[in-house]
Amino acid sequence: LSKTQAQDGNQFPGGFRFGVATASYQVEGAWNEDGKGENIWDYLTHNNPGAIDDGSNGDIACDSYHKTAEDVELLKDLDVDFYRFSISWSRILPSGHANYINREGVNYYNELIDTLIANDIRPLITMFHWDLPQPLQEIGGWPNPILADLFVDYAKVLFDEFGDRVLEWITFNEPYQICHQGYSEATKAPLYAQDGIGGYLCGHTLLLAHAKTYQLYNESYRETQQGRVGITVNAMWGEPASESEDDATAAENYIQFTFGWFFNPIYASEGDYPSVMRSQIDANSQAEGFQRSRLPSFTQEEIELLKGSSDFLGLNHYSSYECARLTTDETTPSFINDMGVSYTQPDTWEAGASFWLKVYPDGIRKLLNWIKTRYGNPEVMITENGFSYAGNEQDLQDCRRVNYYNVYLEAILAAIVEDECNVTAYTAWSFMDNYEWLRGYTQRFGLYYVDFTDDDRPRTPKMSSRVYSNIISTRAINWTYVPEGFTACDW
Ligand code: GBH
């Protein structure tokens, strides 16, 4: 454990906001209650449990569907400014289509939103955090372009039902994970492995769904509801593996292919996909004998629609990679070959329980500066950041997580104060331990410990929850703070 970037005495600026996050499938449970329809995670976990590390599912998860009052009490206790959660599409529209609205689903979210607001906690709502209605998967899922319109229909229902009280919306959580992992790499539902094809088609639909939702808000809701609509992309920072020019290019290309893929069309002045994606995917497609590029094209009108279609840049960030140039003479379509980058993490970075999560706080500061430079310093809301322990670790004294939050928040503070990056909010992932997708319950990200063996799913504060709460109330990082009931960590 190391104290790497102490900024003693510095405080987060006045208007800066702190929150915590969850997602519907990961916490709600009640998978088939009160008229909810089946989604792709219900389908995957029930029909292919072998795909999940511990064979588990989110049928009950944290049972948050039945614990609105208790959860909001805990949020109040944390003193957060906002709570980021997601809406389960199939709870609102059981078939995925907007022909029938499930009132009981609407009531659940109304109750949650109203209870939050009554406690002075702002809802920050993600419309889509990976739980696609299964019937929409059966017509092809996101690679089917019709889903853009079906998503807008769903978004309209959300604005109509909740927009009078909800001022901040995120259309999509992590398009790269939805698309690349869901349709190219088979590491997220629906576990499709059409590498170099499915992911790009999915991404194209998502971007258009996002831009059309933004347009709908502008045309029909912004004036009356006066809220904001954004989108969240996950980014690992790409550090060049060596001083060579090739590796510098590799690191830049890594960021363009994973982050620029979705933000270049929205934030770059020229819009559209990053030119390096266009040229490399076009060239590879041609060499592989395709009649057209595997990366679809936007019309000029679509390029214009996408430009500027976000009121804040939502950033999920956990870790970084060292990137090197990858050359191959393989001729099967592949995202990695298109990108031409290999990436690894040095053993010298402290490891979390997730294989991809290593502690490198400089990465977020560099990434925030990259965003500032490339996109003209847009408003950034950090919508996720956090650290995992193994599922069987029951230590409430989670010093490694406290260290993670402290060093990452210090790096963010430095980016704000010293580099003048326009970061306005920070969100800890996660409020409580929850269902970690293919990892099931084998990894814990929570500030609260959840006992998944107990039918009541009791939540117990970890040390990190108290430390985070102290950061929120003092607006500063304090390495010497020892919350009551815990002992000092050995920094
Ligand atoms: C978030 O995604 C999710 O939004 C959240 O639901 C989840 O519980 C949380 O993280 C913890 O995992 O695939 O090459 O990008 C973070 C997604 C997935 C990002 C794995 C990094 C590994 C490398 N992370 N990914 S890559």
Residue 356 Cβ < 6 Å to ligand 1: yes
Looking at the predicted structure, is the pLDDT value of residue 468 above 80? yes
Q: What is the mean pLDDT of the chain?
A: 97
Residue 429 Cβ < 6 Å to ligand 1: yes
Q: How far apart are CA 125 and CA 263, in angstroms?
A: 20
pLDDT tens-digit readout, 311-343:
999 999 999 999 999 998 888 999 999 999 999
**Mean predicted confidence (pLDDT) in 15-19:** 98
Q: Is 308 left (phi over 0), alpha (psi -120 to 50) or beta?
A: left
Nearest residue CA, atom 25 of ligand 1? 356
**Mean predicted confidence (pLDDT) in 169-198:** 98
Q: How far is the CA of 174 from the centre of ligand 1 (A)?
A: 8
pLDDT tens-digit readout, 376-420:
999 999 999 999 999 999 889 999 999 999 999 999 999 999 999
**β-sheet with 341-344: strand ranges across:** 237-240, 320-325, 341-344
Which pLDDT value is given to residue 328?
86
Q: What percentage of the chain carries pLDDT values higher than 70?
A: 98
Nearest residue CA, atom 23 of ligand 1? 356
Which pLDDT value is given to residue 466?
98
Q: Which atom of ligand 1 is nearest to the CA of 434?
A: 8
Nearest residue CA, atom 7 of ligand 1? 436
**Mean predicted confidence (pLDDT) in 60-89:** 98
Confidence category of residue 10, pLDDT binned at 50, 70, 90:
confident
The pTM (predicted TM-score) of the whole model is 0.97
Q: Which of 115, 113, 135, 134 is nearest to 124 (CA)?
A: 113
Which pLDDT value is given to residue 171?
99
* Residue 184 Cα distances to 197, 280, 283, 301, 335, angstroms: 7, 17, 19, 28, 8
Task: Compute the Cα dihedral for 98, 103, 108, 114 and give only its sign.
Answer: positive
Nearest residue CA, atom 16 of ligand 1? 234
Q: How far is the CA of 8 from the centre of ligand 1 (A)?
A: 31
Looking at the predicted structure, is the pLDDT value of residue 126 above 60? yes
Which pLDDT value is given to residue 200?
99
Higher pLDDT: 4 or 345? It is: 345
Residue 427 Cβ < 6 Å to ligand 1: no
Which pLDDT value is given to residue 3?
41
